[in-house]
């Protein structure tokens, strides 16, 4: 049984200590939860296959449904994706950092345990300070799946996370109530034309202003 810590991040000193503790847990293969600019997320070292598999288990998520990944900036994509299209660059330039997950075709063998057998990876550059601080401390990609059991509503507070994952994860960073309880928008940019998979914080009208040819499924 795991004792789940909760650390507040409302002051600069609390934030510094909490980030160091969270990074320590992630580096050891543990799982944490933290606030983003949308809902709370579950984070683990995206390079650690066992940690990723543990998230699948505690979320009761089907393994053919891949996780997205937090990276610090768009230059980090070069290690993992085969191609960055013209449309992907336009979307990144307009909406990153922010509540947008972009799905790319992955390089062979890169983070295969996260692709769900589809040879695609979703990436997000977050504007949330806790995410950026964690990435800087961990120095690697971080899983970006929402902190909720599959089929349940996304968590918008540390209390929500604790109710669902008490004694299942090591740490929750408590950043208070989410101001934007709507998840990120998701766009597949692995082909010639971008495809809107999920309309979240960013609306279809906002996307069409940047990429008029975007498709909707």
> pLDDT by residue (tens digit) across 110-139?
888 888 888 899 999 999 999 999 999 999
**What's the confidence (pLDDT) of residue 217?**
83
DSSP string, 5-68: EEEE-SSHHHHHHHHHHHHHHHHTT--EEEE-SSSEEEE-BTT-HHHHHHHHHHHT--TTSPPE
Q: How far is Cα 137 from Cα 166, in angstroms, rounded to an integer?
A: 25
- Structural domain of residue 151, as residue ranges? 5-216
Q: What is the pLDDT of residue 65?
A: 85
Between CA 83 and CA 42 the distance in angstroms is 27
Q: Rounded to whole angstroms, how far apart are CA atoms 145 and 66?
A: 9
Per-residue pLDDT, averaged over 201-209, amounts to: 96
Q: What average pLDDT is seen over the chain?
A: 94
pLDDT level of residue 109 (50, 70, 90 thresholds): confident
Report how far residue 126's alpha carbon sits from residue 205's, in angstroms, rounded to the nearest whole number: 21
* CB-CB neighbours of 129 under 10 Å: 14
Task: Indicate the burial class of 8 (C-beta count within 10 angstroms; 0-12, 13-18, 19 or more).
Answer: middle
Band the pLDDT of 74: cuts 50, 70, 90. very high
- Provide the percentage of residues in the chain whose pLDDT is more than 70: 100
Residue 148's CATH number: 3.90.870.10
Task: Count structural domains, the chain.
Answer: 1
pLDDT at 1 over 80: no
The pLDDT value recorded for residue 146 is 95
């Amino acid at each position: 049984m795991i004792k789940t810590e909760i650390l507040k991040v409302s002051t600069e000193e609390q934030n510094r200590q909490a980030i160091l503790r969270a990074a320590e847990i992630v580096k050891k293969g543990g799982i944490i939860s933290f606030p983003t600019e949308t809902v709370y997320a579950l984070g683990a070292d995206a390079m650690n296959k066992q940690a990723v598999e543990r998230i699948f288990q505690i979320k009761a998520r089907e393994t053919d449904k891949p996780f997205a990944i937090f990276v610090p900036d768009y230059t980090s994509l070069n290690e993992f994706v085969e191609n960055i299209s013209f449309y992907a660059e336009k979307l990144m330039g307009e909406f990153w950092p922010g509540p947008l997950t972009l799905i790319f075709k992955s390089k062979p063998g890169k983070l295969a345990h996260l692709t769900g057998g589809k040879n695609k990876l979703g990436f997000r550059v977050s504007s949330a300070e806790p995410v950026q601080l964690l990435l800087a401390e961990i120095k690697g990609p971080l899983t970006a799946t929402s902190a909720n059991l599959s089929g349940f509503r996304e968590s918008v507070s540390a209390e929500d996370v604790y109710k669902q994952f008490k004694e299942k994860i090591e740490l929750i960073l408590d950043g208070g109530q989410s101001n934007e309880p709507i998840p990120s928008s998701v766009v597949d940019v692995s082909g010639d034309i971008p495809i809107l998979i999920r309309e979240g914080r960013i609306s279809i009208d906002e996307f069409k202003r940047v990429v008029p040819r975007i498709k909707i499924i």
